[in-house]
Amino acid sequence: MTKDVKTILLIEDETDLVLGLTDAFEFEGYSVHAAQTGEKGVEQAETLNPDLIILDLMLPGMNGFNVCSTIRKRDTTTPILILSARSQENDIIRGLESGADDYVTKPFSIGELLARVRAIFRRIAPGRDHNSSRLIKVGDAEINVDTYTAVVGNKQTDLGFYATAILHVLDERRGEPVSRDEILDAVWGIDANPTNRTIDNFILKLRRVVEKNPAKPRHILTVYGQGYKLAQ
Ligand code: CA
């Protein structure tokens, strides 16, 4: 991580969500500015020159699509992540075509949104070795932490966000046991609705992909009374 504080402009009209996201992002070390209408968002995008814009589609007045294309007319580089309750494919396509870089549909977990934001900053960070920062090797499997996929031989499997994030947490402490509570904190953060059982199910899913014999795992190990550990 670089030391300079990154600024996020949040264009969102739901006050509770603005407060929750501001807390979460400030806790992660970002500086957050919020605009509650599209017009104010366009204005602040210009005056603040933020490092990233999180944009809701359903706004009073100017809608998110128009906000996005208006910002893009002047600024082609600042990443824009669209946040919206709309999950229809044509809205996603329209959002991306109006110049957004990524798209998260509500309801979402704060953990997922933070991970997406970190991934965007990793992609644009200068001089980073992308291949080494994005792949985790587990046995014969290679897991891409940005696309949430695993490749074993010539077979690619979609792991999804949570299984990938859990593996990432284990990999950061490879060789050490990590408790289920630590995994919950790291992956779900303050939006911790899931239970320990949820983690166990994602571990089973991971083992089915990366282990030759999922019933006798050699890579993703259970440490009784402690949690899980990724073998060296
Ligand atoms: Ca809204």
| Number of domains into which the chain is organized | 2
Q: 39 alpha carbon to ligand 1 midpoint, in Å?
A: 14
Q: 37 alpha carbon to ligand 1 midpoint, in Å?
A: 9
Tell me whether residue 1 is in a domain.
Answer: no
Q: What's the mean pLDDT when you consider all of the chain?
A: 87
pLDDT of residue 143: 93
Out of 84-93, 117-126, 175-184, 216-225, the most confident range is: 216-225
pLDDT of residue 56: 94
Give the contacts of 188 (CB within 8 A, at least 6 positions apart).
Answer: 109, 110, 111, 194
Residue with tokens 């009374």, as numbered in its chain: 225
Q: 228 alpha carbon to ligand 1 midpoint, in Å?
A: 39
Q: What is the CATH number of the domain that holds 50?
A: 3.40.50.2300
Phi-psi category of residue 61: left, alpha or beta, with phi > 0 → left and psi -120 to 50 → alpha: left
Tell me whether residue 128 is in a domain.
Answer: no
Look at 25-34, 55-64, 89-98, 146-155 and tell me which has the smallest mean pLDDT: 89-98
User: Are residues 164 and 211 located together in one domain of the fold?
Assistant: yes
User: Are residues 84 and 153 located together in one domain of the fold?
Assistant: no
Q: Please give the backbone phi and psi of residue 54, each rounded to the nearest 5 degrees, phi first.
A: -105, 125
Q: 189 alpha carbon to ligand 1 midpoint, in Å?
A: 23
Q: What is the CATH number of the domain that holds 207?
A: 1.10.10.10
Domain finish residue from 123, 157, 189: 123
Residue 84 has pLDDT above 90, yes or no: no
Q: Containing H/E element for 112?
A: helix 110-124
Q: Cis peptide leading into 194, omega within 30 of 0?
A: no
- For the segment 35-68, what is each residue's pLDDT rounded down to a tens digit? 999 999 999 999 999 999 999 998 988 999 999 9
Q: 81 alpha carbon to ligand 1 midpoint, in Å?
A: 14
Q: Which domain holds residue 149?
A: 135-230
Tell me whether residue 93 is in a domain.
Answer: yes
Tell me whether residue 105 is in a domain.
Answer: yes
d(CA 149, CA 208): 13
- For the segment 174-201, what is each residue's pLDDT rounded down to a tens digit? 999 999 988 888 887 655 566 778 889 8
Tell me whether residue 218 is in a domain.
Answer: yes
